[in-house]
Amino acid sequence: MIKNDREYRITKAQAAEFEQSLLALGAETTSGVHPIIRQAQRDAVQSLLDELRSEISDYEALRDQRRSVIELSSLDELPRALIEGRIAAGLTQRELAERLGVLEQQVQRYEATNYSSASLSRLIEVARAVGVNMREDVFLPHVQVSEQTLQRRLGEAGIDREFVNRILFDEQTNKSDARDASSVLRAAGAAGRIFGWTPTEILAGGQPLTHPQAATAAYFKVYAGAQGTRTIVLSALARYVAQLVVRSTPSLRPQQIPRSARAFRKLVLAKSGVLSLESILDVLWDLGVVVVPLATDGGFHGACWRFGGRNAIVLKQRTASEARWVHDLLHETHHAGADPESPEFVMIDGESMPVERRKSPEEKRATRFAGDVQLDGRAEELALECVTAASKKVEWLKSVVPQIAATRHVSVGALANYLAWRLEMDNINWWGTADKLQEGEGRPWNVARDFLVQRLDWTQLDRVDRQLLTRTLAEE
């Protein structure tokens, strides 16, 4: 955001430099740079230029009083609205400082940090000085804007401190010992976007905060106790982030997802020649499906949503096993291909999913699909071969599975995953051993995250949503 005439002149000069760079890239035809790379360079410069032009246009509209009325409907909007209000009122930073009875440098510091060091009383004073209009219910009596109030209220709603610190507060405020009113307002605003509450409800409401219907039992069975609450909280985050990613990929067009494991495997191998996490991500991208990795513990391990016909898969695994990531991704891919004519859809696979849900026909089909894609259509055959070779002794499977995998030229991890699921259908928990057969194979979370962020159009999001998505996709 441009805050004064000096920044305006600098931004205008930067925009002019980018315009010249675009002209140069367009005229360059003799270099050894591949045309696709050159186009990517032009697109990157154009994106930056568009953002600068937008900032210039916003500043000129405020300065020229084409946006002379700045209205405020929520507390988290206040810091930015104060700067816009000063510009729209035709006040310089010095003139505002005189109205407040402070030094010009103090106003400069306020605006440079988006009023992060200002008290709530100062924020209200500035709002009155620059003529920002506020709804009557924006400031309720006795609102205590403090981190303690925020943490307490969100904690009562089942949102733990780690979630608040990592997702809702930005990196700069995480480094400070005390979070001021402005940073608390921004965090409350971020929580409101995810869960549907207003900052006023969070900070001043007397009623318990209730979670939105979109993240509750309408779509999956809520498990009792803390596990159920965490599932709801993380599902709400996943849903919001999935919506942001869909919004950030406007050029993707949904295609029909093959329901046959053989057809899907053939599609992946035809494009890249290998079956890997990245090659599957690449094919899903071609099919218009975005895949979002989350680095948070608990709640669920996989989910998919469809918004207006657009599919988004969210994976929430912390394992280093690529085989497990591929299995979960293929499992959710099968869900995403269901009921293709429906514009809206959701499926959440919880970590403590009830046995009856795990044994449902749809879950069995999804797991069989994942196994057959990974094991070349031989999932059941190979599972039976392992059980037979182990003489039906579970304790012998640990040595048998690697031998069968080597003989049949398939992934040990993929075979172990599928076999663990088959045994679970007979009420035998073999997941611990299956995990040990596939530990430390790579950094699949990073693969999925890097694949995604390189393809997002960040200009489709506003500043708050960009920060939310960036924090959510940051490695812990």
Give the pLDDT confidence of 359-369 residue by residue, as tens digits.
788 889 999 99
Q: What is the pLDDT of residue 66?
A: 63
SS3 assignment, position 134: strand
Looking at the predicted structure, is the pLDDT value of residue 85 above 50? Answer: yes
Higher pLDDT, 102 or 44: 102
SS3 assignment, position 317: coil
Average pLDDT over residues 390-405: 95
Structure tokens that stand for 409 in this block = 């030229």
Q: What is the pLDDT of residue 221?
A: 44
pLDDT by residue (tens digit) across 318-334? Answer: 788 899 999 999 999 99
Higher pLDDT, 169 or 121: 169
Report which secondary-structure segment, H or E, holds 405. helix 397-408
Percent of the chain exceeding pLDDT 70 equals: 83
CB atoms within 10 A of CB 350: 24
Distance CA 58, CA 243 (A): 26
Q: Are 377 and 261 in contact (CB under 8 A)?
A: yes
Percent of the chain exceeding pLDDT 90 equals: 43
Structure tokens that stand for 315 in this block = 């994976």
Q: What is the pLDDT of residue 304?
A: 92
Q: Are 132 and 87 in contact (CB under 8 A)?
A: no
Placement of tokens 């440079």 in the chain: 112
Structure tokens that stand for 46 in this block = 């154009």
Q: Are 129 and 93 in contact (CB under 8 A)?
A: no
Q: Are 460 and 250 in contact (CB under 8 A)?
A: yes
Structure tokens that stand for 311 in this block = 């599919």
How does DSSP assign 3-50, residue by residue?
-SHHHHHHHHHHHHHHHHHHHHHHH--SSS--HHHHHHHHHHHHHHHH
pLDDT by residue (tens digit) across 384-397? Answer: 999 999 999 999 99
- 8-state DSSP, 102: S
- Helix H, strand E, coil C: the string for 283-295 is HHHHCCCEEEECC
Average pLDDT over residues 421-439: 89
How does DSSP assign 421-445, residue by residue?
HHHHTTT---HHHHHHTTTT---HH
- 8-state DSSP, 338: S
Phi, psi of 349 (to 5 degrees): -100, 105
Q: What is the pLDDT of residue 220?
A: 46
Structure tokens that stand for 301 in this block = 């391990």
Q: How confident is the model at residue 128 (pLDDT cuts 50, 70, 90)?
A: confident
> How high does pLDDT run on average in the chain?
84
Which residues share a beta bridge with 313?
Answer: 291, 304
Looking at the predicted structure, is the pLDDT value of residue 129 above 50? Answer: yes
Q: Are 292 and 241 in contact (CB under 8 A)?
A: yes
SS3 assignment, position 266: helix
Q: What is the pLDDT of residue 207?
A: 84
Average pLDDT over residues 32-59: 78
Q: What is the pLDDT of residue 140?
A: 44
Average pLDDT over residues 333-346: 91
Average pLDDT over residues 157-165: 91
Among 100-114, 398-412, 462-476, whose mean pLDDT is lowest? 462-476
Distance CA 398, CA 357 (A): 27
Looking at the predicted structure, is the pLDDT value of residue 174 above 70? Answer: no
Q: Which residues contact 213 (CB under 8 A, 6 or more apart)?
A: none
Q: One-letter amino acid identity for 138? A: V
- The pTM for the full model equals 0.74
Q: How confident is the model at residue 76 (pLDDT cuts 50, 70, 90)?
A: low
Half-sphere exposure of 98 (CA within 13 A, CB side): 5
Given its phi and psi angles, is residue 18 left (phi above 0), alpha (psi -120 to 50 degrees) or beta? Answer: alpha
Which residues share a beta bridge with 349?
Answer: 302
Q: How confident is the model at residue 398 (pLDDT cuts 50, 70, 90)?
A: very high
User: In 129-141, which positions are buried (b, 16+ CB within 10 angstroms) versus exposed (e)?
Assistant: bbebebeeebbee
Looking at the predicted structure, is the pLDDT value of residue 189 above 70? Answer: yes
Q: One-letter amino acid identity for 229? A: T
Higher pLDDT, 448 or 203: 448
Q: What is the pLDDT of residue 188?
A: 87
Distance CA 22, CA 16 (A): 10
Q: One-letter amino acid identity for 429? A: N
Which residues share a beta bridge with 306?
Answer: 311, 345
pLDDT by residue (tens digit) across 210-247? Answer: 876 544 443 444 444 446 778 888 889 999 999 999 99
Q: Which residues contact 291 (CB under 8 A, 6 or more apart)?
A: 281, 284, 312, 313, 314, 315, 329, 448, 451, 452
Structure tokens that stand for 218 in this block = 């309408």
Q: What is the pLDDT of residue 43?
A: 77
CA distances in angstroms from 391 to 168, 387, 388, listed in the order given = 53, 6, 5
pLDDT by residue (tens digit) across 269-317? Answer: 999 999 999 999 999 999 999 999 998 777 788 899 999 999 999 998 8
Phi, psi of 348 (to 5 degrees): -125, 125
CB atoms within 10 A of CB 9: 11
Higher pLDDT, 257 or 298: 257
Higher pLDDT, 364 or 464: 364
